[in-house]
Structure 1
Amino acid sequence: MRIFSYLFLLLLSTSSLAASKAYSPFETINQTGDKLFTRIAASQQQLEKFPELMRDIVEQELMPVIDYRYASYKILGKQLKKTSKEQREKFVQAMRHYLIRTYANALNQYKDQQVIYEDGKIKANAKMTSVNATIIDGNKPDIHITFQMRKNKKTGQWKAYDMVVEGISLLSSKRAEFSNRIAKYGIDQVIVELAAISS
């Protein structure tokens, strides 16, 4: 649980840039951490009274640059072709709300850990890339993270769709979890379950 809690924190810190400006994946990661956590620090009094405010912060600062649709389709995997357009859209929206809740809960664990982001360059025509980062938390072992980033064809914006923490992919873990349930119970039941978890 500790690793995945940190994983969520790292994803949050990468993703609060305005969707209208196309940054490189490295710029996205380096420039958004300060903005997001500065807002959280400034909102501490309100958050103590109204913890649900964290969901609003996630909604406004994070979700515009999370490629939750692409991630949802990857999670569906082979099940994707077996679903209708309406079922896919419902699953995407249910997954979106699930992620908002998950990230908001993870942010409550933020204790001012130090994060070091990799800097670098990519080819002009690159569509996907990986960006590395390290979490330093006092006397605890460093945690190494790799962000999987994807470039939007229309906007040129880089978005995060997966993270690999110490060799464990969040996307692959969720795909194994949800695809098995979809195969066993059907996508409609899984959508109901996601909605219940996210409420």
Structure 2
Amino acid sequence: MKKRILQAIFIGFAVLANGVSQAQEVNPYDLLEQVATKTFTRIKAEHTKIEANPELLRTVMEEELLPYVDYNFAALKVLGKHFRTVPKEKIPEFIKVFRSYLITTYALALSYYNGQEVVFQPSKDVEDENTVTVRAVVKEPGRPDINIAFKLRKSNKTDEWKAYDMVAEGISLLSSKQSEFESILRQDGIQAVIDAMNNTINRPINLQQDNKG
């Protein structure tokens, strides 16, 4: 189940890349479907380079995805109630490391790429909406379908749509990270969470060869 969820996360974050900032001009339902093709085209074009140097997946994520993810909002959601009690001078560092942590998480998920198909739900009118959930199904021959959902919110200041969470097989990435870090925050404080994220960031990216071919 964990592997299937990681595979779904890979599909989800790749789909969200390359243009969510333009969503104020394009319906986000349509946009997510359009950018999937563009993102996968880049990955296929750079396949040889990525095979030789999997760390390039971090570059792909930083260039293609992070500009369109509301990582500040996500980071504060992960802190939850602890935002009021952690040292305020540590918040900027936490957000900065959380950004790099997301890059690593997305790069690890991207290592599952193997040409999967994504089928999106029909587009809906979002004229009066500030948040939307876009659902899709990941299809791969010989394997069960994987249900995923993308959560996006529209900025009150810029009207830009940005992604802040993805739910794979009913499990929210944001909620899972909040649960994972909550006990550390409560027992050891925010620096311990920062150190834990840095440990993940500092690990090399390895392609998931067992899912290739």
TM-score by length of 1: 0.93
Runs of at least 4 residues off by over 6 Å: none
1:193 corresponds in structure 2 to 196
Amino acid at match of 2:17: S
- Deviation of the 1:20 alpha carbon: 5.4
Amino acid at match of 1:117: F
> 5+ residue gaps in structure 1?
none
TM-score by length of 2: 0.87
- CA distance in structure 2 between the aligned counterparts of 1:181 and 1:64, rounded to whole angstroms: 29
Taking structure 1 as reference, are residues 69 and 7 closer, same or farther at Cα in structure 2, changes over 3 Å only? farther
Taking structure 1 as reference, are residues 12 and 85 closer, same or farther at Cα in structure 2, changes over 3 Å only? farther
- CA distance in structure 1 between the aligned counterparts of 2:162 and 2:4, rounded to whole angstroms: 22
- Deviation of the 1:21 alpha carbon: 6.0
CA RMSD in angstroms, aligned pairs only: 1.6
Contact 2:121–2:135 (Cα < 8 Å) also in 1: yes
Residues 145-196 of structure 1, C-alpha deviations (whole Å, 9 max, x = no match): 1111111122212111111222221111111111111111100121122112
Contact 1:15–1:28 (Cα < 8 Å) also in 2: no
Structure 1 segment 17-166 matched on structure 2, within 5 A: 17=19, 19=21, 22=24, 23-166=26-169
- Alignment coverage as a number of residue pairs: 199
Matched, 1:3 2:4: yes
- Deviation of the 1:83 alpha carbon: 2.3
- CA distance in structure 1 between the aligned counterparts of 2:96 and 2:171, rounded to whole angstroms: 25
3-state secondary structure, aligned to 2:57: helix
Percentage of identical aligned residues: 37
Amino acid at match of 2:15: S
Amino acid at match of 1:121: K
